[in-house]
Chain A
Amino acid sequence: MAAKHHRVGDQPWVRRLLIGVTLAITLVMLVIPVIVIFYQALSAGLGAFSENVMDEFTLHAIGLTLFVALLTVPLNLVFGTALAWAVTRFRFPGRKLLITLIDIPFAVSPVVAGLLYLLLYGRNGWVGSWLGEYDIQLMFSWPGIVMVTVFVTCPFVARELIPLMQQQGSEEEEAGVVLGASGWRIFRKITLPNIKWALIYGVILTNARAVGEFGAVSVVSGNVRGQTNTLPLHVELLYQDYNIVGAFASASLLAGIAILTLIAKAFVEWRQSRPEHPAPEKGGV
């Protein structure tokens, strides 16, 4: 037997190499592009930047993007919570299948999702043609954008909640019901405080994705400037118009939202890892 055992990676040069390579890749692939976005956006000066941001169509795109997120997040909050509750608190046939199905939006390319919705709800689609008879148009207008955004972002909340609720079990809720509490009171007073931070985490991820979604939205939106153009679509449109500064100004807004998301995410992660009620000092009562 050798006198000294080295685990893989124990040698200092391996450690330095791995850390160095990782840092280099992060810099080249992640940090520099983000800096370039802001650099390009401000390359023609602050005046040009604000002029581009205050542009009528850009403002509309911002408004539409926020509107879509505002509808998507609560919808998926309710859906995700209900789904997590159902699969962790009840036993029913198809439960495992449901847990797998929830990942479909992660597995399917957003463009495919957009096409599926177009096929179903478009003017010539199975459901769409029937709705068309009542003059209801879902595709190429904001309801379609909301629908595909909900589809693309629906796993986030449930994915955060399911493992947590599985791990916590239902004993506290059972204790609540034995003590005579109503279902709503149990949810509000017992379940919700226990899942609060995971829920917020899920909402942050849902929101980030809802704001940034491009592929699925671009299929169903129709890209009508000032009507169905969301911020990510607007970036592309400006870029194709050779308005580089405008494109990057809008892109910098999205990057700004992303950075805020990261900060919020880091805060929530820190809160989740911290014990809620630290043990009292030694020597106390």
Chain B
Amino acid sequence: MSITVENISKNFSGFQALDDVNLSFPEGQLTALLGPSGSGKTTLLRIIAGLESSDAGRILFGDEDVSHQHVRDRNVGFVFQHYALFKHMTVKENIAFGLESLPRRQRPPKQEIRQRVEKLLEMIQLPDLANRYPTQLSGGQKQRVALARALATKPRILLLDEPFGALDAKVRKDLRRWLRALHDEFHFTSIFVTHDQEEALELSDQVVVMSQGQVEQVNEPAALYARPESRFVFDFLGHVNVLEGSLKNQKLTQGDAWVSLPSVQGDREAQLYMRPHEVQLARSPSAHARLPLRIESVSLIGSEVRIELQPEGWHSNELWEVGMSHNEFARQAPARGDLWYAVPDIGHLFTDAGSQPRTVDWHYPTTATAHP
């Protein structure tokens, strides 16, 4: 069942939580609503579920307008951030609750409910804990029970509000993988809210980036990371190195630093954004860029060596960050305090506020184009 969100707005006594949001969630896909706190992502999820009403707009499940349907009748599965398990019921009773709440005519017989609960307990790999109470479970176990409870009534749609937010890193990773596997098996249409970019990119088929009650960008994870369409998305998704300067004669200059931009016309202020993997380090400046930087710190842990650098003779709000393979690191042996030069391979040029960036590729300079 696909979900369509049309012109949804919501105002909480003066605070515009959602501002004319339009989205469509394709059937059978796992979509992430990603954004900082206060971006309206949880409000949108709650409006889709029917736990909150919108001031304007429509929600459609398939072709059916459910805007005025009570949450009780929408048949959605909802997983709460803090699990919201019923403290006074056992795991078994928690999972059976939805089935037992069905009107008498639709309610399956007791025997069938018991079987379905057993099957769900196996699915969440907790068959031995059927008679435990929620307080006797770990965080990860609670979240799995919450998921089984949400799936018991075979909902058309599964909504998850920061499902892994309250768990520690290791459990979170396991549960994430498990949820993805579960989704691939059952193919319900799911939406989950998160503020964790890594989680959103790793888990979802589609990511919706939100900021201040509006949709910033909708894309597949890989495309979103490679081609952010706004400064916000750039800043929000991973680290970015920025050269802010004035553009003149196809050259962006600030202090001692400059980058040549062969295909860019016009003289104005501009910012060049580069991901850590789009930049390399060299002992001397290259023909197309001179970006002197002094090494501030070197972090060896991980599959790549992460080097943080301080601009030398020019200015950047944040430290620059460049990745280097361990092999390369052993050969070059960069040390703290050394002066190096950044050599960009690909950059993204923003000229005026709100506009989309132009991607510049110095290896294939002729392909420098704006995004479609």
Contact residues of A with B, CB < 8 Å?
A: 171-172, 174-182, 185, 189-190, 193-194, 275-280, 285
B325 → chain A, closest Cβ, in Å? 45
Q: What 7 A-B pairs have minimum CB-CB distances, sorted nearest first? A: A277-B133, A179-B98, A193-B88, A171-B84, A181-B101, A175-B84, A178-B78
CA distance A277 to B135 in the complex (A): 7
Which of chain A's residues has its CB closest to B89's CB? Answer: A189
Residue pairs across A and B with CB atoms within 8 Å: the count is 79
Binds A, one of B69-77, B258-266, B288-296, B361-369: B69-77
A29 → chain B, closest Cβ, in Å? 41
Residues of chain B with a CB closer than 8 A to A175's CB: 78, 80, 84-86, 149
Q: Are A276 and B135 in contact (CB under 8 A)?
A: yes
Q: Are A179 and B101 in contact (CB under 8 A)?
A: yes
| Given A277-B135, A277-B136, A285-B128: A176 touches B88 (CB 8 Å cut-off) | no
Residues of chain A with a CB closer than 8 A to B50's CB: 178
- Report B44-77 CB contacts with A as 1/0, cut-off 8 Å: 0000011100000000000000000001110111
Residues of chain A with a CB closer than 8 A to B97's CB: 176, 179, 181, 189
Q: Are A179 and B153 in contact (CB under 8 A)?
A: yes
Q: Is B82 interfacial (CB-CB < 8 Å)?
A: yes
Q: Are B135 and A275 in contact (CB under 8 A)?
A: yes
Q: Are A172 and B86 in contact (CB under 8 A)?
A: yes
Interface residues in B84-134 by Cβ distance below 8 A to A read: 84-89, 97-98, 101-102, 128-129, 132-134
CA distance A22 to B85 in the complex (A): 45
Which of chain B's residues has its CB closest to A179's CB? Answer: B98
A96 → chain B, closest Cβ, in Å? 14
| Given A277-B135, A277-B136: A180 touches B72 (CB 8 Å cut-off) | yes
A90 → chain B, closest Cβ, in Å? 13
Q: Which of A180, A194, A285 has the most CB of B within 10 A?
A: A180
Q: Which of A176, A179, A182 has the most CB of B within 10 A?
A: A179
Q: Are B51 and A178 in contact (CB under 8 A)?
A: yes
| Given A172-B87, A176-B97: A181 touches B135 (CB 8 Å cut-off) | no
Residues of chain B with a CB closer than 8 A to A280's CB: 132, 136
Q: Are B101 and A185 in contact (CB under 8 A)?
A: yes
With A175-B78, A180-B153, A279-B136 already in contact, 9 other A-B pairs whose C-beta atoms are closer than 8 Å: A174-B78, A175-B149, A178-B49, A180-B75, A180-B101, A193-B88, A277-B132, A278-B136, A285-B129
Q: Are A177 and B135 in contact (CB under 8 A)?
A: no
A102 → chain B, closest Cβ, in Å? 24
Residues of chain A with a CB closer than 8 A to B132's CB: 277, 280
Q: Are A177 and B86 in contact (CB under 8 A)?
A: no
CA distance A10 to B76 in the complex (A): 60
Residues of chain A with a CB closer than 8 A to B102's CB: 180
B354 → chain A, closest Cβ, in Å? 36
Residues of chain A with a CB closer than 8 A to B98's CB: 179-181
CA distance A177 to B69 in the complex (A): 13
B160 → chain A, closest Cβ, in Å? 12
Q: Are A182 and B80 in contact (CB under 8 A)?
A: no
Q: Are A190 and B86 in contact (CB under 8 A)?
A: yes
CA distance A189 to B97 in the complex (A): 10
Q: Are B136 and A172 in contact (CB under 8 A)?
A: no
Specify which of B72, B77, B84, B133 is in contact with A172 (CB 8 Å cutoff): B84
Q: Are B80 and A194 in contact (CB under 8 A)?
A: no
CA distance A31 to B78 in the complex (A): 56
| Given A180-B102, A194-B87: A171 touches B75 (CB 8 Å cut-off) | no
Q: Which of A172, A175, A189, A190 has the most CB of B within 10 A?
A: A175
